[in-house]
Structure 1
Amino acid sequence: MHAPVFAAEQNPAPENALVYFIWPADGAVITGGKFWVRMGLRNMGVAPKGVDMKNVGHHHLVVDADLPPSTEPIPSDRNHLHFGAGETEARIELPPGKHTLQLLLGDKEHVPHNPPVHSKKITITVK
């Protein structure tokens, strides 16, 4: 018998909230596997995980995957990178090839807001 699974409570987000890539740009070609990802956010604030304030969250980078369900905590694995200290930039490393990147804002418990605040999915190539 399995324990029931309950959806996490979602914090509201302003309708005009926007998370976006400052760098890299869609279609960027990156030489070498290490590069900086710079993350922007409008009409909300960035705060470390655990901070319980209205209209704040922290960045998550979804790599080579679709967005996770918006009613559950964002996974933490090689496809879902957490920046729970409130980082707005991070140095990451990816193997050669084409990759998709997408930003998703999570609340104090790593749950997407309602409505979810995410960037468009971009594609980069690592050489």
Structure 2
Amino acid sequence: MRTIYLLSLMILTGLFSCNSSSTQSTNTDTAASAMATDTGMHMMADSAKMIAPLPAIPAGAAVYFKNLKNGETVKSPFKVEMGVKNMKVDTAGLVLPDEGHHHLLIDAGDSVAAGTVVPKDAQHIHFGKGQTETTVTLPPGKHRLTLQYADGIHRSYGAALSATIEVNVK
């Protein structure tokens, strides 16, 4: 009988010690917490074999800044309006033909290679909920902004669906 109690106690101790979850929450949006809430970022290791190929880019498709021009001077914070031609803006999650969502690269190059998942950090902002505008706060100086379109699982369509401008922030 004593052995059963001891064994039960050891199992319970093991279960509780393996629990790594935390009940503490913070108000900061880290890349890890943002990815956990973004529907398109969850895949099991074996699912890589089942991922659809990157959809073809329709003729005439392009992304563009609706409200900003190359070389424009802006005051921080400023609004960025994102547009796309000949494709539909949709939420992250499913890979569908002629659909995708925007990413904003800030001082992070002119595009992400086609088929590469767009990183998610302070320089690579994801709009996986289908957003087409945002407000950006940047320090004074010249900054390079790139719109990058990607499929439902954040794979870049490459340079063909990117647009880059420079803005001067006052």
Report the TM-score, using the length of structure 2 for normalisation.
0.65
Other-structure match for 1:99: 143
- Which one has the bigger helix percentage? 2
State how many pairs are aligned: 119
Structure 2 unaligned segments of length 5 or more: list them.
1-47
Indicate the residue corresponding to 1:35 in structure 2. 78
1:47 maps onto 2:90 in alignment: yes
Q: Using the alignment, how far apart are the partners of 1:37 and 1:90 within structure 2?
A: 5
Using the alignment, how far apart are the partners of 1:115 and 1:99 within structure 2?
A: 19
For residues 52-91 of structure 1, the aligned pairs below 5 Å read: 52-66=95-109, 67-91=111-135
Deviation at 1:82, TM superposition (A): 0.6
Compared CA separation, residues 70 and 99, structure 1 to 2 (3 A) = same
Compared with structure 1, are the counterparts of its residues 80 and 115 closer, same or farther at alpha carbon in structure 2 (3 Å cutoff)? closer
Aligned partners of 1:113 and 1:69: how far apart in 2? 7
Is the radius of gyration larger for structure 1 or structure 2?
Answer: 2
d(CA) in 2 for partners of 1:103 and 1:82? 10
Map of 2:4 onto structure 1:
none
Between Structure 1 and Structure 2, the one with more strand by share is 1
Indicate if the aligned counterparts of 2:88 and 2:100 stay in contact, CA closer than 8 A: yes
Which residue in 1 is equivalent to 2:60?
16
Question: CA 1:102/1:49 → structure 2, altered by over 3 Å: closer, same or farther?
Answer: same
Report if the CA contact (8 A) 2:113-2:157 is conserved.
no
CA deviation vs aligned residue, 1:7-45 (integer Å, no higher than 9, x gap) = x742211131010001221111112x2111001111000
Structure 1: where are the runs of 5+ without partners? 1-5
